Amino acid sequence: MASVVSSNRVSRFADWRTALKSILGFWLFYAVTVVARAFLGSDPLTTLENKLVVILLGMLLTGLIYVSINIFARTAPIWTKAVVAGVSSLVASVALSTVLLQLEDVMRESREEFRYQAREGFVVVEKGQQIRIERSAQEPLVLTFPKMKDLDSNKRLRYGADVAVVWLFFFLAWSAFYLAIRAQAASLAAQRRVAAAESAAQAAQVRALRYQVNPHFLFNTLNSLSSLVMTGRADRAEAMLLALSTFFRTSLSLDPGADVTLAEEIELQKLYLDIEMARFPDRLNVDIDVPVELQRAMLPALILQPIVENAIKYGVSKSRKAVVISIAARSLGDGRMILDISNRLKHGGKDELPAATHEGTGLGLDNVCQRLEARFGNRANCRFGPMAAGGYKVSLTLPIESRD
């Protein structure tokens, strides 16, 4: 129980450093104006000594305003905090005014003189609580102001109210500044939480899309193995199993949410194509063209897998002629690159190769487009369709982000 209370106490005044800095800043500004004013006169030390009492009391009362806001309205809406701050500022200004009136006898009287030439020809000299009127050929007339304790209660109340109003605006100014800091901090915290939630959601989406690839790929590969075994091609089935083992050992060692270089992605696809070449040794040809300067570009792991699978499924497996699976990359010169994945007949022919499609299981190109959007937003896009000369091509446009 004690630890819970201690934790609540810490969290209640978690921003005390910020509050302290703002209090010191406000009263330091006031102190600077006091010092500037004091040294314009002839008795600056007395003025500074008297104002030091005011500054210390003011800092203490401002701190109590901070405490009251955090005790009575720590988790309340901003308007409730403003009400508490306003009431606390009113109480603080009245308290400061009352204390200053009570300390009148303690305050040192300034020795500074102010001389005025009255219109009637008299010279008026003001010093501390006295006013001396110097008249030609006559004794000076000396007037002494009464102290606050000598006035009746109504006049003391009115004078105290005037002083309290002056300090009320000062305390309200600090309260407004402090609440603005709190509101800004809350807004920034909310923005950080939203950004973190969006980042987590995006990461979860990327991981989910990535995890869809492995079951889909494994299903197709097992079908191919089954076909090889049933047709008595054990040597090819063994080669495919070896390639499959290498592929999964490599792909499963990757972080599902991490990026890989284009060179690493191409190596993964070569492993997969080795598996398919064991199935179609006479019909599958591979052509890969990736410039050296693009090999370090980053992209989501296995992003090309569904595309290459479709190229095999709708190209090689449905054609009796040799088919070329091509993977080519080129830079657009504006910080982006294009990855083209296509299938076509090796010796040409437009109508003999079935048109590819991204429908079927609901994965395929939909998976690729969603992963690109989740990773790069509107900086990436995917286009696909049949080629004029025959075959089918998928083009991925994405920014060039290299690994440091």
The 10s digit of each residue's pLDDT in 70-126 is 999 888 888 999 999 999 999 999 999 989 888 877 777 777 777 878 887 788 877
**Spatial separation of the C-alpha atoms in residues 4 and 81, rounded to whole Å:** 25
What's the confidence (pLDDT) of residue 398? 93
3-class secondary-structure state, position 246: helix
Q: Are 134 and 125 in contact (CB under 8 A)?
A: yes
Q: Does position 202 have pLDDT exceeding 70, yes or no?
A: no
Report whether 325 contacts 287 (CB < 8 A).
yes
Specify the range with the lowest mean pLDDT, choosing from 116-120, 218-222, 335-339.
218-222
Residue with the larger pLDDT of the pair 124 and 62: 62
DSSP3 helix / strand / coil % (the chain, rounded to 5): 60, 15, 25
The torsion angle over the Cα atoms of residues 301, 305, 307 and 308, rounded to 10 degrees, is 130
**Rg from Cα positions in the chain:** 42
* 214 has a pLDDT exceeding 80: no
Residue 273 has a pLDDT of 87
Encoded tokens for 41? 């006169």
Instruction: Please write the tens of the pLDDT for every residue from 5-20.
Output: 444 444 678 888 999 9
Class of the 233-399 domain? alpha beta
CB atoms within 10 A of CB 155: 12
Please state, rounded to an integer, the average pLDDT across all residues of the chain.
Answer: 81
In this predicted structure, the answer to whether residue 352 has a pLDDT above a threshold of 60 is no
- Paired tokens of 154: 């109504």
pLDDT higher than 90, residue 23: yes
Angle between helices 16-38 and 44-72 (to 10 degrees): 160
Question: Which of 54 and 361 is assigned the larger pLDDT?
Answer: 54
Give me 382's structure tokens. Answer: 């995917």
Residue 355: band (very low, low, confident or very high) from pLDDT cuts 50, 70, 90: very low
Q: Which pLDDT belongs to residue 13?
A: 81
Percentage of the chain lying above the pLDDT 90 cut: 27
- The pLDDT confidence band at residue 27, using thresholds 50, 70 and 90, is very high
Residues 323-334: pLDDT tens digits? 899 999 999 988
Residue 233 has pLDDT above 60, yes or no: yes
Rounded-to-integer distance, Cα 311 and Cα 113, Å? 99
Mean pLDDT throughout 121-148?
Answer: 78
pLDDT of residue 216: 58
Q: What is the mean pLDDT of residues 126-132?
A: 76
**Is residue 319's pLDDT more than 80?**
no
Residues 6+ apart with CB under 8 A from 68: 84, 88
Task: Give the helix ranges, DSSP H, for 39-152.
Answer: 44-72, 78-102
Q: How far is CA 335 from the centre of its chain?
A: 26
Give this prediction's pTM.
0.53
- The SS3 of residue 47 is helix
| 34-51 per-position pLDDT tens digit | 888 878 777 778 778 888
pLDDT of residue 363: 54
Is residue 330 within 8 Å of 337, Cβ to Cβ? yes
d(CA 371, CA 299): 10
* Under 8 Å between Cβ of 397 and 384: no
The reported pLDDT for the residue numbered 3 is 42
Q: Which residue intervals of 126-152 are DSSP H helices?
A: none
Helix or strand or coil: residue 272? helix
For residues 352-370, average pLDDT: 58
Res 117: pLDDT = 83
Give residue limits of the domains in the chain.
2-105+150-193, 108-146, 233-399
Mean pLDDT is lowest, of 140-144, 196-200, 358-362, for 358-362
The answer to whether 338 and 381 have CB atoms below 8 angstroms apart is: no
Q: Spell out the residues 6+ positions from residue 254 whose beta carbon is closer than 8 angstroms to its own.
A: 260, 301, 302
Average pLDDT over residues 216-226: 73
The predicted model gives 150-160 an average pLDDT of 81
Q: How far is residue 265 from each of residues 106, 166, 336, measured CA to CA in Å? A: 83, 72, 17
Return the pLDDT at 43.
Answer: 75
Q: Say which range, 59-63, 92-96, 114-118, 269-273, has the weakest mean pLDDT.
A: 114-118
Quote the pLDDT of residue 4: 42
Long-range contacts from 51-57, C-beta under 8 angstroms, 24+ separation: 53/103, 53/106, 53/107, 54/96, 54/100, 55/27, 55/30, 55/31, 57/96, 57/99, 57/100
Task: Name beta bridge partners: 341.
Answer: 327, 394
Model confidence at 240, pLDDT cuts 50, 70, 90, reads confident
Parallel/antiparallel/unpaired status of strands 381-386 and 323-331: unpaired
Contact 211, 246 (CB under 8 A): no
319: how many CB neighbours lie within 10 A of its CB?
18
